[in-house]
Structure 1
């Protein structure tokens, strides 16, 4: 099963989801059973309040990116797919989205983690007990989400937080990814922010890497891209940004694209996909 990964060269608004949707639409219209997959995502209580409230009213929590990717699949695949399968791990950030200097715990409200356990879909929450949330009643705000959760872990120290993140993030991403590998012929993996690799599990399973930024689309050979990530990882303890490796690798191809109105954007990028994938026999 081919894997195509989309990464961005901007922390925000690089165009990853637009490109992912356009490529997904292109493959689906050409008879390929494809899906989008965003292993990790997050949104912010202040900047994305409408989206947050809409999902919490459903007793769920997922990103607008997952919603848009699912929309591309609706009516085009045999079985409906939930946003949580497209996006197994999602964080709701508090504002400001910083790290507490005393506890070292990120200033988030809750992590929603969805995984498969004996073929049953389960959801757990990591509930940040130390996050200050004075302007709203946090328990009331998250009530529907908590009522639908299979388990809730309260986070009060960094050691517990790190242990749960390591275990459940990997369990969620691996179990969901394993399922969609069986159900789909092609997976478009979308990273988050400007992170070079959304999860280590995909190291050896990439067939093409696409980097995007305003005006430009870059195509990279997976082996060389991953080598650049690995070399850079030795020097950095934190997540690797795409801009830390951009100068280390030369793209196989660079495509220019112009801005377009939102109603036309996906179709215009889809035309680029037609030429692009013919060039690479993908």
Structure 2
């Protein structure tokens, strides 16, 4: 079973809260975040925590890894992570206004590699803590869009293909998208899709959502991956919609409590995902809250 969680807002849609609760609610589930990024300024504590360990990852994938039924590290679940910084009154290398990317971490079969924004480096925009914490001396450096596109083809696209292979090989798998992008990785047939926004979630059949994505992007073979959710959602009818109750900080930090609060939405999503499967594969069920509380060895959510 493959489930996708997307958001129809660029930030603060509630994707990670919803996805983590969903992983907690399904026995044996693993959460993936194919693409992610954070900001050295706005997400400083999170960025420094990773940098202090000589790594580069964000809070979202850490949340998913903690609740997933896997021992794989964040880099396996999240093959591409980008570190940004604000740059007021400056356009970034890739045309972004008011901010620029500093370093990308790409997971390879041999470990991790880094791609450095050479223009930002020459302008003195990369903080000393980043340069001191990551092995950037031999990293690939890019200084223009053409160079970036070459590296994208050689390194990023294979990383996305590998994580798609992992998702296809994992059952059940929960994939969280990034920003307001409708589908974060190609080559995966999702059984059901949850589009999350503040106060609500809309549930879509995976095939219908995939078809709408192809229509929005032009065609299945020529379309672009990064279609926004709103363009796709307007071409597909949701199977169900649910209100999401507001949660306190403590509740959001506990995926089991999220699973309890969002249980009707999760049950609806699973109903859609399992609608066309054989009876002998209908093994993924929302965990009963009492079963979780009565787990005597306390390992139900220590994954």
- Residue aligned with 1:92, SS: strand
Note if contact 2:191-2:206 (Cα within 8 Å) is conserved in structure 1: yes
The answer as to 2:230 corresponding to 1:251 is no
1:201 equivalent in structure 2: 187
Contact 1:105/1:158, CA 8 A, preserved across alignment: no
* SS of alignment partner, residue 249 of structure 1: coil
Q: What residue in structure 1 maps to residue 272 of structure 2?
A: 280
- Structure 2 Cα separation of the partners of residues 60 and 252 of structure 1: 41
CA contact (8 A) 1:115 1:173 kept: no
**CA shift at 1:132, angstroms?**
5.8
1:12 corresponds to: 11
The number of aligned residues is 263
The structure 2 residue matched to 1:108, chosen from 91, 101, 105, is: 101
Offset from partner CA, 1:128-168 (integer Å, 9 cap, x none): 11016867764553232216x9x610111221111111331
Superimposed CA distance per residue, residues 56-114 of structure 1 (whole angstroms, 9 cap, x where no aligned partner): 111100010001111113xxx3x51201111110000121399847x546521000000
SS in 2 for 1:11: coil
Alpha-carbon distance in structure 1 between the residues aligned to 2:273 and 2:155: 37
Change (3 A) 1:238 1:208: closer
User: Cα–Cα, structure 1 residues 254 and 180, in superposed 2: closer, same or farther, change >3 Å?
Assistant: closer
Deviation of residue 277 (structure 1)? 4.5
Superposition deviation, residue 243 in structure 1: 1.3
Residue 83 of structure 1 aligns with which residue? 74
Measured on the aligned residues, the alpha-carbon RMSD in Å equals 2.7
State whether residues 209 and 225 of structure 1, in contact with CA within 8 Å, keep that contact through their aligned partners in structure 2.
yes
| TM-score between the two structures when normalised by the length of structure 2 | 0.78
Structure 1's consecutive aligned runs of 4 or more residues displaced over 6 angstroms after TM superposition are: 133-137, 235-238
2:216 aligned with 1:232:
yes
1:268 aligned to which of 260, 269, 280: 260
1:161-210 residue CA offsets vs partner (Å, 9 max, x unmatched): 1111133122112223424544x3211011001011112222xx111111
Alignment pair present for 1:223 and 2:207: yes
- Classify 1:97/1:185 alpha carbon distance in 2 versus 1 (closer, same or farther; 3 Å): farther
Structure 1 residues 211 and 44: alpha-carbon distance in aligned structure 2, compared to 1, 3 A threshold: same
Q: Distance in 1 between matches of 2:148 and 2:124?
A: 25
What 5-or-longer segments of structure 2 have no aligned partner?
Answer: 253-257, 275-303
Which consecutive unaligned segments of at least 5 residues does structure 1 have?
none
**Aligned mates of 2:200, 2:166 — CA distance in 1:** 33
Q: Is 1:67 aligned to residue 62 of structure 2? A: yes
CA separation of 1:71/1:161 partners in 2, compared to 1, >3 Å: closer, same or farther?
same
Q: Deviation at 1:272?
A: 2.6
What's the secondary structure of 1:258's corresponding residue? coil
Q: Determine the structure 1 residue equivalent to 2:289.
A: none
Classify 1:244/1:99 alpha carbon distance in 2 versus 1 (closer, same or farther; 3 Å).
farther
Q: Distance in 1 between matches of 2:6 and 2:125?
A: 35
Q: What's the TM-score once normalised by structure 1's chain length? A: 0.83
